[in-house]
A and B are shown apart, each in its own frame.
Chain A
Amino acid sequence: MKEDIADNADDGTTDFGFTRVNREAKAHLVRDVFDSVASRYDLMNDLMSGGVHRFWKRFTIELSGVRPGQTVLDIAGGTGDLAAKFSRLVGSEGRVILADINAAMLEVGRDRLIDTGAAGNVDVVQADAQALPFEDNSIDCITIAFGLRNVTDKDMALRSMLRVLRPGGRLLVLEFSKPVSPLLGKIYDQYSFQILPAMGRWIAQDADSYRYLAESIRQHPDQETLLGMMANAGFVDSQYHNMTGGIVAVHQGFKA
């Protein structure tokens, strides 16, 4: 339970990558990172993952089982790729809420949703995952893709998500995780700490932000730890699916 130890420390600090910072400072530092990468976020995602992030998200959408007429909340939805897909699935009777704490990311997401014709059933909301500004029992499905690791208090965020979900509603957490093979883990480490910051420097002129992304992935709870955190928050029937050898995992849990 590495994350619990990190976040529950009495000294009022939490991790920001491999650095310890004040809890209050983390949100500002994360915001600075995403302000810096927002305009090139999708391009960098494609380059960093070789395009595979699209298939990780595709499987997450399949798992969601979203049907026409439902309400979907995409937290840390950033540039809106999941929201655009959900917009088609819920149809004109349904509703999709694209939420992100970062205004720069939301701006990119909103522009992209308009460009792709996903309008009419999508709301764009600047919101903190730890204190979601939505009514209790109002959402059918919540997704948070590559966002939970940037949240300061993950337990608080999970409880907030549970509160707004309808009974029977589903949470899907898509996040980097721990490779199942030690060999893949070593290759992945080399890639994350050598190649990734270099790509950030060449393409986004921002090596530090991409170094933070790599470090935050390592600090994020592994599959079993996150599963335990979901159970502690009150989610039931929780399970996870590893993808690409465990580099990424999608966790699923339901509100009883």
Chain B
Amino acid sequence: MTKHDPALIGAALAGAERALNQAIRLAPTSHRELEGLVGTRLGMEISSFDLTLFVEIVTGPEVRLMNHCEAPTAAFVRGSIEDFASLATSDDPAAVLINSGIELEGSSASLITLQQVISRIEIDWEAPLVDALGDVVGHQIAETIRGIFRWGEGARISLTRQLSEYLLEEGKLTPPQTELDHFFDAVQSVSMRVERAQHKVAKLLAKAADRRTGQ
């Protein structure tokens, strides 16, 4: 369990849970995908805030967010808030799990499915937070959450670009795309020539065999 006040964490989780479930109800595809995960529990430790949270998919299907859970989890992930924001907004969560600072214990399958469902739905963070905490505080917290996700998306794009530049320019670890395309075209051309030559050789060998039998 975290060292934070459980009531404070509970307030934040209640708002997030309501926003998520509202969005899931309005997204039939996500609804169907989550049905397959009912009963699954995931744990996450956000090192930036020294915070441990749990997600459980319950009948509905709905997402239940918890500050405390004693039941076994299918997967447990640890990372910074930036890592989790990148994971939440990524088109390729498996790659983020491998390449980011996230540590994973257990199976990644249910985590990836949940990430894909959540990344596709449009979550209105503001409405439940305003309902729970009032206009001023609710709006400010919703803005902060949106900022974290914008940062996560920006960080993902920036990381992809920087990684690409490093592999191509700094590390010279991989040739540029055009050079690779040219290389693959040349390989294909050679392959076709070899194939044609094989056919010609086969044809010549057949002719030679016919001549020998004719003599």
Interface residues of A (CB under 8 A from B): 51-52, 54-56, 58-59, 62-63, 65, 67, 88, 91, 241-245, 248
Contact = CB atoms under 8 A, between A and B. Distances in A.
Contacts of A91: 59
Contact of A59 (B59, B67, B132): B67
A51 B58 CA distance: 25
Interface stretch (B7-15, B118-126, B138-146): B7-15
B5 to A, nearest CB: 6
Contacts of B7: 52, 55-56, 59, 243-244, 248
A60 B67 CA distance: 11
A62 B56 CA distance: 12
Contacts of A62: 66-69
A243 B6 contact: yes
Interface of B: 1, 5-8, 10-11, 13-14, 58-59, 66-71, 132
Given A55-B6, A58-B14, A241-B1, 16 more contacts: A51-B132, A52-B11, A55-B8, A56-B10, A58-B10, A58-B13, A59-B10, A59-B68, A62-B66, A62-B67, A62-B68, A63-B68, A65-B69, A91-B59, A241-B6, A244-B5
B14 A55 contact: yes
Q: Which 4 A-B pairs have the closest CB atoms?
A: A55-B10, A59-B6, A55-B7, A243-B7
Contacts of A245: 5
19 contacts: A51-B132, A52-B11, A54-B10, A55-B10, A55-B11, A58-B13, A59-B6, A59-B67, A59-B68, A62-B67, A63-B68, A65-B70, A65-B71, A67-B71, A91-B59, A241-B6, A242-B5, A243-B6, A244-B5
B68 A54 contact: no
Contacts of B1: 241
Contacts of A244: 5, 7
